DNA sequence: TCTGGGGTCCTAGGACCC
DNA sequence: TCTGGGGTCCTAGGACCC
């Protein structure tokens, strides 16, 4: 039996955990540059504010109803996520951290120790709330896809008290009939449109599909597995994370600038900073990358024909996690795609092609100096961990001498304090 | 005026080989 | 003009996820 634990309105709930005045209020959390809505409280949803909607399009609604709009504070959310996941890791033998606010648990055979699994889930839910102030819903079912579906039903139906267990054919059928097909895990816009045109509008309808039909219309083997999972035959297993961290196969750092940029030095400073961040993440998971991509985008709104994203990629002679080296390659790739006179709104750096364990052995014989570099990078990470953010950077990330630094950075006018992660912004308890 | 930032997996098709 | 039948590896792009 799988359990999916999903935090409700996670970013908003994190903010509320430290700002009780937000309780009961319509609240939204905004994306980078305060651009789009990425998390909504129930009250904000009730006002008709949609997920992913640009703030400026709902400005009047926000003002009219006094919606609290907060800039995102990822240091806070990451820290809160760690607390929730840390507790969940203690309630089941295996945990797969699926995203910042969701985890799959394997509860196989746990009835023996904990009695009815839905009762056990209710206790977990209560305890997460008590420890972190984060509300959750829990779906329990024989497959991951059904656990997602159970979770979704539990979330929509208050009578269920946040927990739904699908342990009989009747319960399962009942739940499948509740859920529109577009809300099934793995069915996006394209597939939903296709399914509706085939007369399939609910999860129950999709579960009745033949394998041939699923293969034909839903991306081959992906669709076949999806239908099997809805029928109760597990095709996806748990990918447990040993220490709570996830080893990624690619690492990206991309941002929309605070304002459009046309000076090479300004964009270079951004790209160098992105490469540095990506290298940091890379070292944290003890990987080394052999493929580096840099891209630049122009404004994609209100222009015809749609403007391009230019990108360039290089395969490195030797996989590395050395910031200075990655920044050097990133700079040269940027030079390749840079077009003087163009105006750019966004850039990004992507690391790929991580080396495997055996390949890493070879680096023992890497050119002289690699060990020195490794020690330097350790010190760099330690300093930045201790003094915060970007205390120590490579020069290119700061920008040319005499230029204003970080002009690519956006504004976060509505950010809450970093209650848990910054000494200067600790939560104050007034006596 | 203002429009996010990460990730995953799979497939098709081309290059290349025998 | 006719011009096999495999196999592998790689990449670009599409679809999905939160």
pLDDT at A367: 55
Give nearest nucleotide to A151 (CA–C1'): C18
pLDDT number for residue A401 = 63
Distance CA A38, CA A71 (A): 10
- Supply the pLDDT for residue A330: 96
Q: What's the Å distance between residue A431 CA and nucleotide C17 C1'?
A: 45
Query: At A195, is the pLDDT very low, low, confident or very high (cuts 50, 70, 90)?
Result: very high
Among protein residues, the one whose C-alpha sits closest to the C1' atom of B8 is A249
Q: Give the position of tokens 């092609």.
A: A353
Query: What pLDDT score does A400 carry?
Result: 63
Closest residue to C17 by CA to C1' distance?
Answer: A186
Strand C, nucleotides covered by protein (CB < 7 Å): 11-12, 14-18
**In this predicted structure, what is the pLDDT of residue A374?**
82
Task: Name the more confident of A354 and A362.
Answer: A354
Question: Tokens representing A341?
Answer: 């006179």
Q: How far is the CA of A388 from the C1' of B17 (A)?
A: 53
Q: Sorting pLDDT into bands at 50, 70 and 90, what band is A69?
A: very high
What sign does the dihedral A335-A336-A341-A346 (CA atoms) show?
negative
Residue from A183, A15, A166, A5 nearest A98 by CA: A5
- Averaged pLDDT of chain A: 91
**Quick check: helix, strand or coil at residue A18?**
helix
Q: What's the token pair of residue A299? A: 């404004």
- The whole model's pTM is what? 0.93
pLDDT digit string, tens, across residues A86-99: 999 999 999 999 99
Closest residue (CA to C1') to nucleotide B4 in the complex: A31
Beta bridge partners of A54: A36
Residue A173 CA to residue A203 CA, distance in Å, equals 9
Residues A163, A140 contacting (CB under 8 angstroms): yes
| pLDDT at A422 exceeding the cut of 90 | no
The pLDDT tens digits of the residues spanning A11-28 come to 999 999 999 999 999 999
Strand B nucleotides within a 7 Å radius of protein CB atoms: 1-12
pLDDT, position A151 = 98
For A150-163, the pLDDT digits (tens) are: 999 999 999 999 99
Query: With 70 as the cut, is the pLDDT of residue A252 above it?
Result: yes
Minimum-distance nucleotide, CA of A195 to C1': C15
Q: Assess contact for A101 and A76: CB atoms under 8 A.
A: no
Q: What is the pLDDT of residues A278-329, one digit of tens each?
A: 999 999 999 999 999 999 999 988 776 667 789 999 999 889 999 999 999 9
Closest residue (CA) to C1' of nucleotide C18 is A99
Nucleotide nearest A222 (Cα, C1'): B10
């Amino acid at each position: 039996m799988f359990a999916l634990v999903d935090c409700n309105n996670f970013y908003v709930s994190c903010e509320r955990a430290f700002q009780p005045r937000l309780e009961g209020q319509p609240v939204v959390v905004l994306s980078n540059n305060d651009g789009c809505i990425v998390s909504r409280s129930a009250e904000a949803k009730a006002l008709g504010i949609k997920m992913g909607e640009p703030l400026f399009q709902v400005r009047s609604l926000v003002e009219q109803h006094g919606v609290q709009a907060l800039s995102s504070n990822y240091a806070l959310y990451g820290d809160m996520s760690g607390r929730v996941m840390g507790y969940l890791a203690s309630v089941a033998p295996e945990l797969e951290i699926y995203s910042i606010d969701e985890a799959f648990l394997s509860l196989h055979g746990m009835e023996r120790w904990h009695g009815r699994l839905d009762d056990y889930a209710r206790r977990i839910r209560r305890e997460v709330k008590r420890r972190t102030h984060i509300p959750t819903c829990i779906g329990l079912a024989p497959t991951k896809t059904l656990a997602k579906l159970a979770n979704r039903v539990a979330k929509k139906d208050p009578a269920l008290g946040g927990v739904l267990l699908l342990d009989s054919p009747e319960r399962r059928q009942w739940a499948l009939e509740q859920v529109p097909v577009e809300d099934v895990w793995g069915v996006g816009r394209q597939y939903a449109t296709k399914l509706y045109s085939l007369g399939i509008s609910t999860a129950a309808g999709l579960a009745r599909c033949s394998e041939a039909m699923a293969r034909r219309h839903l991306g081959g083997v992906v669709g076949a597995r999806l239908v099997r999972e809805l029928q109760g035959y597990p095709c996806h297993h748990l990918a447990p994370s040993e220490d709570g961290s996830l080893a990624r196969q690619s690492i990206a750092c991309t941002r929309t600038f605070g304002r459009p940029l046309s000076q090479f030095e300004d964009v270079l400073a951004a790209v160098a900073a992105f490469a540095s961040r990506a290298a940091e993440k890379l070292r944290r998971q003890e990987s080394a990358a052999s493929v580096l991509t840099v891209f630049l985008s122009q404004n994609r709104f209100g222009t015809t024909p749609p403007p391009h994203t230019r990108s360039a990629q290089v395969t490195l002679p030797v996989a590395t996690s050395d910031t200075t080296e990655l920044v050097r390659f990133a700079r040269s790739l940027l030079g390749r795609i840079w077009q003087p006179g163009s105006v750019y709104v966004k850039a990004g750096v992507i690391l790929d092609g991580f080396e495997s364990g055996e390949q890493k052995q070879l680096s023992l014989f890497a050119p002289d100096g690699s060990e020195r570099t490794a020690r330097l990078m350790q010190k760099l990470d330690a300093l930045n961990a201790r003094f915060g953010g970007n205390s120590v950077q490579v020069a290119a990330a700061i920008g040319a001498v005499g230029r204003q630094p970080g002009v690519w950075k956006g504004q976060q006018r509505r950010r809450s304090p970093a209650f848990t992660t910054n000494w200067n912004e600790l939560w104050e308890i007034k006596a």
